[in-house]
Structure 1
């Protein structure tokens, strides 16, 4: 039974893009045991995959703001204990960054990652025991899957793309979700366009949010779109269920 540790810490989209790797590995090695290192704020995502046994949260984003604090040292010590609890057959870093490669070094096992021409940060390959070439022009999902396949010696030819998410979904054909938030202001869609679309759709519009600023935008839009709803702040799993159950989801990022 191969013991596999996946290193894909952030951001949200990158973590989601890595889910098919777990599905592929289990399709080829049904008895594999898969653990996953991920940023604490995205830890709900790998939990949604029934094939991921243990999720090991890390808090690089938070720790680097408080490097000298006792709490940071204590939490990092706990992380080191968890990641080194057992020996892995494969430690697979699909992130290809210096930070992810450095985290992989705390695990016990052979580290596999991209070679210098394939990694997003070429110096990361200095931490790897096996360095594999994967085209940088490929989609992120394909890159992740190919790296795992090359590392573990299987082909993707007979493997359909499957994110493996297991959720109980209540279908709501009269519901539309507007995902107006984005990582940069220059990617925002004008609010008047959201209002125009919301008024044209004869559906109940839900306007989820994740920050105080996004909540303010949701409330502004809701005030101009009749019958729309601003839900309470949702965890990632609840947000995924809300989106999956909707008839329409509109986003910008």
Structure 2
């Protein structure tokens, strides 16, 4: 059987969707799976042995110059490549207009996606031939992707516990190993201080105090700050300046460089953002907080992860801006996040406590 997964973005959402690869190989041995993703997220997929081929797309660039020769050439090549594969089934688990158009370009007779009531871009429903409704117990975003993919196979994903994994190139693994070997012995935690929405951010003083408590609780601990913008770098420099040499900024890392490094740390702390889900996918414990989004929907699951939801009656509002932003940030207490850290890491000063995989 020959199938295509369309999940183009974002980083976190692609990571949440990785479990569909495991599911499909379990229910259909010998299946061939291809994937369509935005070019910048290919490192999450490109070394996965469960995939045959990945089609990169550059939709932002195409939208900026829809009639350029380069855009036309890219789209023709994409259409040609997709049609040559003669897919038996296409799963659109992106659910917007661009993914619907990509599904249509395949020429596949069976194109499976979301029902109209859950689509943010309703036009997507014009391009799917079968639309799968969610059930009450399809609450987590990974469950919802699995629901869509599992329906045509008449094999419920629940009880199977399909997993998503991320693989790295040997040279990136080696570089991460060298970096880790240069760090002091003791607990190593990564602070993921940034994310895409302001309504997902925490407050700077909270990061400073959390760092102080971790360093005091775990002598010899190192806190690494991952950053991707000047504002995030400035926040990292502030934390390091106020806490001391136990805190250091990571160099700017591409996704493919970040993945193997996250394998080699003891803990990652952050909000609803891709690097937290990268850490969970490679087996590293996480502490994550949720403000505008829902922990029940997006948080990593399992004994190796802890979550904190904002203590606001309007939490999980999915707004990208809010007049109560400051109040919401402070509703996530340092006490709550530090308690989650110590619960995961245990009483030992130089290492994580044993937790089941």
* Structure 2, unpaired ranges of 5+: 216-220, 273-357
Matched residues in 2 for 1:218 and 1:76: separation? 41
Larger Rg belongs to: 2
CA distance in 1 between partners of 2:256 and 2:144 (Å): 25
For the 8 Å contact 2:91–2:113, the answer to whether it is kept is: yes
Q: How many residues align?
A: 252
CA apart distance, 1:222: 2.6
* Cross-structure match for 1:231: 250
Counterparts in 2 of 1:212-227, with a 5 A limit? Answer: 212-227=230-245
CA–CA separation in structure 1 for the residues paired with 2:47 and 2:205: 35
2:266 counterpart SS class: strand
Task: After superposition, give the CA deviation of every residue in 1:110-146 in whole Å (9 maximum; x if it has no partner).
Answer: 2111232343433312211222222487221111001
The superposition leaves residues 183-221 of structure 1 with CA deviations (integer Å, 9 ceiling, x where unpaired) of 122332121221122122231111112233323332333
Deviation at 1:48, TM superposition (A): 4.7
With the length of structure 1 as denominator, give the TM-score of the two structures.
Answer: 0.89
> Which has the larger share of strand?
1
CA–CA distance in 2 between the matches of 1:25 and 1:247?
31
Q: Structure 1 residues 2-11 or 165-174, which shifts more?
A: 165-174
Contact 1:105 1:127 in 2 (8 A): yes
CA contact (8 A) 2:194 2:227 kept: yes
Q: Is the 8 A contact 1:7 1:95 kept in 2?
A: yes
Is the aligned partner of 1:211 residue 2:210?
Answer: no
Q: Which structure's relative contact order is higher, taking Cα pairs within 8 Å and 6+ residues apart?
A: 1
SS at match of 1:88: coil
State the SS of the aligned residue for 1:55.
strand
* Correspondence for 1:82: 81
CA RMSD of aligned residues (A): 2.3
Which piece of structure 1 moves more, 107-116 or 211-220? 211-220
Q: Deviations over 1:31-74 (max 9, x none)?
A: 11111001111121122532112111111122212324333333
TM-score norm. by structure 2 comes to: 0.65
Structure 1 unaligned spans of 5+: none
1:166 Cα deviation from its structure 2 partner: 3.8
Cα distance in 1 for partners of 2:92, 2:135 equals: 16
Question: 5 Å matches for 1:88-103?
Answer: 88-103=87-102
**Per-residue CA shift, 1:91-123, capped at 9, x if unaligned?**
110122222111111113221112323434333
Q: In structure 1, how many angstroms separate the alpha carbons of the residues matched to 2:79 and 2:269?
A: 40
